[in-house]
């Protein structure tokens, strides 16, 4: 049998029978090198997945957390001085620290609301439309019920209109604007901010 046949046979059998000591040593070095290369690729791939996956997952949490995680209970935030409010709605942003599995971000906007005063009553409305969550606006619009131009709330996505008391005037929203609980302490208006489900008749 030729030397060439002796060299190829052990590779087919994946064993060491028939190899010289030098050949075995050479093959062992090759195997060790292959294992080292495999480990490098595996570790590198793992780091790559973490590096790419973490921000995606973190972003997903950031998008969904305010809507779903905080809807359960809500929390009171100091929003405005009582004497700065009037019948004209004013929009305010709620800020709080955000935290997920990877990072903590202080002082982030987590939502917004409208505040207005009607007589002695302070009214707070969530700024997201109950239909599908678009941002409700306030301004002078044609009242679909009376035909007159007047201050209203309206949703530009599907042309829904709400009165300044948050009641539906027309459109596809399944309920009135979502009211938020308020209280006044030391001249400051505090609002219990929480999120609600979209597209349902009951908030
Ligand atoms: S999201 Fe407001 S009317 Fe559709």
pLDDT of residue 135 exceeding 80, the answer is yes
Q: Whose CA is nearest to atom 1 of ligand 1?
A: 132
Please state whether 187 falls in left (phi above 0), alpha (psi between -120 and 50) or beta: left
Q: Per the domain annotation, does 14 fall within a domain?
A: yes
From 65, 84, 115, give the residue that closes a domain.
Answer: 65
Same domain, 135 and 187: yes
The reported pLDDT for the residue numbered 73 is: 73
Q: Nearest-CA neighbor of 141 among 132, 131, 153?
A: 153
The reported pLDDT for the residue numbered 156 is: 97
Number of domains forming the structure of the chain: 2
Residue 102: partners with Cβ closer than 8 Å, 6 or more residues away: 54, 57, 58
Per-residue pLDDT of 4-45, as tens digits, reads 433 333 333 333 334 444 554 454 555 445 544 544 444 344
d(CA 113, CA 190): 12
Same domain, 122 and 169: yes
As a whole number, the mean pLDDT across the chain is 77
Compute, in angstroms, the gap from residue 168 CA to the centroid of ligand 1.
12
Same domain, 85 and 138: yes
Return the ∠ at Cα 136 (arms to 184 and 139), rounded to 5°.
85
Same domain, 93 and 42: no
Nearest ligand 1 atom to alpha carbon 134: 1
Which CATH number do you get for residue 171?
2.102.10.10
Q: Per the domain annotation, does 199 fall within a domain?
A: no
pLDDT of residue 2 exceeding 70, the answer is no
For 47, the domain range is 3-65
C-alpha dihedral, 115 to 116 to 120 to 122, nearest 10°: -20
Same domain, 183 and 85: yes
Same domain, 18 and 81: no
The reported pLDDT for the residue numbered 37 is: 52
Compute, in angstroms, the gap from residue 172 CA to the centroid of ligand 1.
7
Q: Per the domain annotation, does 201 fall within a domain?
A: no
Same domain, 97 and 14: no
From 15, 32, 65, give the residue that closes a domain.
Answer: 65
Same domain, 86 and 179: yes
The reported pLDDT for the residue numbered 34 is: 52
Q: Per the domain annotation, does 200 fall within a domain?
A: no
d(CA 50, CA 36): 21
Nearest ligand 1 atom to alpha carbon 158: 3
d(CA 160, CA 175): 11
Percent of the chain topping pLDDT 70 = 65
Lowest pLDDT segment from 61-65, 141-145, 197-201: 61-65
Same domain, 86 and 148: yes
Return the ∠ at Cα 115 (arms to 144 and 123), rounded to 5°.
80
The reported pLDDT for the residue numbered 29 is: 52
Per-residue pLDDT of 87-128, as tens digits, reads 999 999 999 999 888 999 999 999 999 999 999 999 999 999
pLDDT of residue 198 exceeding 70, the answer is yes
Q: Per the domain annotation, does 89 fall within a domain?
A: yes
pLDDT of residue 168 exceeding 90, the answer is yes
d(CA 91, CA 108): 17
128 CB neighbour count, 10 Å cutoff? 21
The reported pLDDT for the residue numbered 100 is: 87
d(CA 202, CA 176): 10
From 65, 84, 110, give the residue that closes a domain.
Answer: 65
The reported pLDDT for the residue numbered 74 is: 87
Same domain, 18 and 39: yes
**Mean pLDDT within 158-182:** 97
pLDDT of residue 150 exceeding 70, the answer is yes
Compute, in angstroms, the gap from residue 127 CA to the centroid of ligand 1.
11
Please, what sign has the CA dihedral across residues 39, 40, 46, 49?
negative
The best mutation among 127, 134, 177 to test binding of ligand 1, ranked by most ligand atoms within 8 Å of the C-beta, falls on 134
Q: Per the domain annotation, does 79 fall within a domain?
A: yes
- Regarding the beta carbon of 155 and ligand 1, being less than 6 Å apart is answered yes
């Amino acid at each position: 049998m030729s030397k060439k046949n002796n060299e190829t046979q052990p590779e087919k059998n994946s064993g060491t029978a028939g190899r010289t000591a030098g050949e075995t040593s050479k093959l062992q070095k090759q195997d060790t090198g292959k294992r080292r290369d495999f480990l490098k690729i595996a570790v590198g791939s793992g780091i790559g997945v973490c590096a790419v996956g973490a921000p995606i997952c973190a972003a997903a949490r950031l998008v969904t957390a305010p809507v779903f995680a905080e809807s359960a209970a809500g929390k009171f935030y100091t929003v405005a001085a009582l004497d700065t409010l009037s019948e004209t709605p004013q929009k305010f942003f709620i800020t709080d620290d955000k935290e997920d599995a990877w990072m903590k971000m202080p002082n982030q906007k987590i939502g917004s609301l409208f505040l207005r005063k009607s007589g002695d009553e302070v009214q707070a409305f969530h700024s997201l439309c109950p239909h599908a969550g678009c941002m409700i606006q306030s301004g002078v619009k044609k009242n679909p019920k009376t035909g007159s131009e007047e201050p209203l709330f309206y949703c530009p996505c599907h042309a829904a209109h709400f009165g300044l008391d948050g009641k539906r005037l027309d459109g596809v929203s399944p309920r009135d604007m979502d009211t938020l609980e308020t209280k006044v302490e030391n001249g400051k208006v505090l609002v219990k901010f929480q999120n609600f489900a979209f597209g349902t008749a009951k908030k």
